[in-house]
Amino acid sequence: MYSPYKLAGYQNTKPIVLASGNPGKLVEMQAVLKGYYVYLQSEFFSDQVEETGHSCIENAILKARFAAEKTGLPAIGDDSGLFVEALNGAPGLFSARFAGENADDYANVQKLLKVMHDVPEGHRQAKYVCTMAYVRHAMDPLPICVTADWTGYILNEARGKEGYGYDSVFYLLRERATVAELTPVIKSRLSNRTQALRALLAQID
């Protein structure tokens, strides 16, 4: 167990841990979480909680509780996915392993393009969904949960080199670009994760 008082070496900041080992996520979220000193859970431990939830909210809470239990710090867990209307919401909870348990982004995108090969124009709507859960401690009986989504359209081929996941095929009508064609600054401003984090922060401040 770690002491937040020993960890918080920054005056006028509050420690909080992200239930993630992704440094890119840390950079993206630290910009919004001003007034907090944000740690990745991978700075403390390497094991991962088993995502046994049947919804994004359940998985986000599982992740947050696990990180809080391991570190003794308040924690934020998030669960994100791509939900495609023509596929009845798939890949959804299984977005990160759509093409298999150890699939990478390329394999997942290729499987998505394959299963959507015969889906006609006008029926390829999708949304990125991000759910976040905040717990004050591991046994917090009232976790704070928020959800935000980002609507788009699945192209029939990849475009752009930025981003990750399904960004190269997730087309934004207003921006006339895939997420992978956006600059990191614009993506951070528009993304479902940023919108969810701002909504969460408004409730925990």
Q: Which domains does the chain have, with CATH numbers?
A: 4-204 (3.90.950.10)
Task: Kindly tell me if the per-residue pLDDT of 178 is higher than 60.
Answer: yes
The alpha carbon of residue 77 and the mean position of all alpha carbons in its chain are separated, in whole angstroms, by: 9
Residue 12's pLDDT is what?
A: 56
Question: pLDDT category, 189, cuts 50, 70, 90?
Answer: confident
Q: pLDDT at position 204, please?
A: 87
Check whether 5 has a pLDDT greater than 70.
no
63-102 pLDDT, tens per residue? 999 999 999 999 999 999 999 999 999 999 999 999 998 8
Q: How many CB atoms lie within 10 A of CB 59?
A: 24
- What is the arrangement of strands in the sheet containing 144-154, beginning at the earlier edge strand? 36-40, 14-18, 75-84, 125-135, 144-154, 170-172, 177-178
Instruction: Tell me which residues are annotated as active site.
Output: 79
Max CA-CA distance within the chain? 57
Is a pLDDT exceeding 60 seen at residue 4? no
Query: Which of 124, 87, 117, 108 shows the shortest CA–CA distance to 166?
Result: 108
CB-CB contact of 158 with 168 (8 Å): yes
Separation between Cα atoms, residue 73 and residue 102, nearest integer Å? 30
